[in-house]
């Protein structure tokens, strides 16, 4: 099951936080960011996939060291649609940020400083997408979207851009 199917399943499950509105807000923010930086939305979605590639091992490590509840607490605290430098700094170290920016520049053709400036928005957006699988306050269980994201096959192919495209089709 791909990431978007897990998100759809979460939308259909009243015990999980996902909603069409949450997806719409994420897509709208990507659209606004694309307009602000004069980039194609698919380029920004691709950039989100690259960010996801670096967020995955950071969250995996957080889950292994601090536990599943702490990883979810981090997502709950830092997910959103507003820029948050602290989310980037606490999740990714300086070497990872530099690697991410370099890879993103090579793959998207965007300016490195532009990518660096977009990270405080993109990291919370990726976390927001992962938060869709969190359980509501009154139910027990783990975040199925986060688990699918972290337990993926490790081939380096983060399907966030695909999930964003499918979300656009789903909402459109």
In whole numbers, what is the pLDDT of the chain averaged over residues? 89
H/E element, 15: none
**How many CB atoms are located within 10 Å of the residue 68 CB?**
15
158/95 Cα distance (integer angstroms): 20
CA atoms within 13 Å, Cβ hemisphere of 157: 6
Q: Can you give the length of the chain in residues?
A: 172
In 3D space, the residue among 157, 161, 91, 151 whose CA is nearest the CA of residue 127 turns out to be 91
pLDDT at res. 21: 92
**pLDDT value of position 91:** 96
Closest CA to 125 of 14, 6, 31: 31
Q: How is the chain split into domains, by residue range?
A: 3-171
Q: What is the DSSP string of 38-55?
A: T--HHHHHHHHHHHHHHH
What predicted TM-score, i.e. pTM, was given to this entire model?
0.89
Predicted local confidence at residue 1, as pLDDT: 54
Encode pLDDT of 11-48 as tens digits.
999 888 899 999 999 999 999 999 999 999 999 999 99
The backbone region for 92, taken as left when phi is positive above 0, alpha when psi lies in -120 to 50, beta otherwise, is: beta
Which pLDDT value is given to residue 158? 56
Q: How confident is the model at residue 156 (pLDDT cuts 50, 70, 90)?
A: very low
More confident residue, 168 or 49: 49
Other beta carbons less than 10 A from residue 72's beta carbon: 21
Q: If pLDDT is split at 50, 70 and 90, which confidence band does 137 have?
A: confident
């Amino acid at each position: 099951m791909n990431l978007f199917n897990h998100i759809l399943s979460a939308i259909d499950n009243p015990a999980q936080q996902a909603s069409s509105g949450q997806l719409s807000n994420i897509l709208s923010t990507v659209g606004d960011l694309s307009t602000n930086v004069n980039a194609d939305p698919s380029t920004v979605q691709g950039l989100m996939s690259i960010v996801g590639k670096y967020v995955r091992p950071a969250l995996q490590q957080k889950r292994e060291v601090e536990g599943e509840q702490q990883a979810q607490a981090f997502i709950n605290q830092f997910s959103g649609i507003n820029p948050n430098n602290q989310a980037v700094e606490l999740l990714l170290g300086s070497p990872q940020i530099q690697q991410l920016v370099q890879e993103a520049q090579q793959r998207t053709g965007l300016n490195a400083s532009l990518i660096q400036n977009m990270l405080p928005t993109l990291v919370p957006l990726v976390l927001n997408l992962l938060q869709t699988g969190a359980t509501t306050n009154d139910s027990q269980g783990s975040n199925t979207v986060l688990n699918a994201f972290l337990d993926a096959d490790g081939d380096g192919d983060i399907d966030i851009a695909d999930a964003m495209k499918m979300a656009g089709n789903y909402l459109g």
